[in-house]
Amino acid sequence: MAPTILVVGATGNTGPGVVRTLSGLLGASKTFSSHKILALTRSSSGAVAQQLAALPNVEVAELNWVDITADWLRQHNVVRVFIAPHNQPNQFAEESTFHLAALNAGVEYVVRISTTAANVRPDCAAYYPRSHWAIEQLLSSPEFERLQWTSLQANVFSSFYLAPAVELVKEFRKTGKQGPLRLIASENAPVGIIDASEVGIFAAHLLVEDDVSPHNKGKYVLNGPEDITGRQILAMVEQEIGTKIGDVRFKDQSFLEYMVAQSRETKSIILSIRHAAETAWDGKCSASTTSKEVLRLAAPKIAPAEVFRTMLEE
């Protein structure tokens, strides 16, 4: 069986960028030209999965990654892995089990998605960055020395950050009416939001590095090419609809009420997500924090205004 690069979460936020970029890179690589890409999804019949399946060197498989074992990884000759784990409260239990399977299967290298760098610490008040911190500590332990890895501490995704602005514009176009503009952004703090596809592109470049040892145990900070503030998002909306917004709510996190209502998890744990944005509001998540390795291998290029226009056309 051909050596395999496994992409976990192939149809999620970052996964399509990984698969599409890898497919092109493998064809141009002497080292990896004989490798195949195994793209995991929970629905192989979806439109994105079908598009990925049509790419060169790509096989799409329907499987929940939390059920992957060391035997399964060996059977599929998996040598390198990309994984975008979920951020539910049981993340550590499930992701650490996956990495243990990778270690025992002899996987060479794992690239994983983390979260905003300023939050990845043991004392973060939001629950999920602590899980990412704990995973990075586990992977850094002597027991995991044989498994090389890189953690991508990506800033907030542009699609999430801009979604309320896009929704208001679309609703205004339909009805001529405007509700409140609810932005998680603060009015003035610059934040280097990043398009999810560009996180995937960078991950793909790491996965085809001949020598990954310089990236082993790397914790790379990824931001978009330029910062944006809440006031700038407001200006984009007003320009698009041709009138002033009457009700603007910066630092709005009312979406958490819906998350709590939909979740079976402990309410206080889910509500702790409200603390995740505080580092951004404090100016700690600007584009200036991007790691030099990111700029060298695959510097992000998609500016917030471009994402905004693309989302309006969808």
CA distance 217 to 220: 10
Q: Looking at the predicted structure, is the pLDDT value of residue 132 above 90?
A: yes
Contact 227, 216 (CB under 8 A): no
Contact 219, 294 (CB under 8 A): no
CA distance 113 to 92: 13
Widest Cα–Cα separation across the chain: 61
- 255: three-class secondary structure by DSSP: helix
Tell me what pLDDT residue 28 has.
Answer: 87
Contact 132, 221 (CB under 8 A): no
Tell me what pLDDT residue 1 has.
Answer: 80
Tokens matching residue 41: 């999804």
CA distance 305 to 236: 8
Domains of the chain, each with CATH number or no CATH: 4-156+194-222 (3.40.50.720), 158-192+226-283+302-313 (3.90.25)
H helix or E strand, kind and range, residue 116: none
Burial class (CB in 10 A: 0-12, 13-18, 19+), 301: exposed
Q: Residues in the chain, how many?
A: 314
Tell me what pLDDT residue 241 has.
Answer: 97
Tokens 């009700």 — which residue?
247
Tell me what pLDDT residue 239 has.
Answer: 97
The percent helix, strand, coil of the chain (3-state, each to 5) is 45, 15, 40
CA atoms within 13 A on the CB side of 191: 33
Determine the average pLDDT of the residues in 98-107.
98
For residue 276, the one-letter residue type is A
233-279 pLDDT tens trace:
999 999 999 999 999 999 999 999 989 998 999 999 999 999 999 99
For residue 120, the one-letter residue type is V
CA distance 303 to 268: 35
Please give the mean pLDDT across all residues of the chain: 97
State the angle between helix axes of 158-175 and 304-313 in degrees (0 to 180), rounded to the nearest 10: 50
Closest CA to 129 of 102, 167, 170, 91: 91
82-99 pLDDT tens trace:
999 999 999 999 999 999
Q: How many CB atoms are closer than 10 A to CB 67?
A: 10
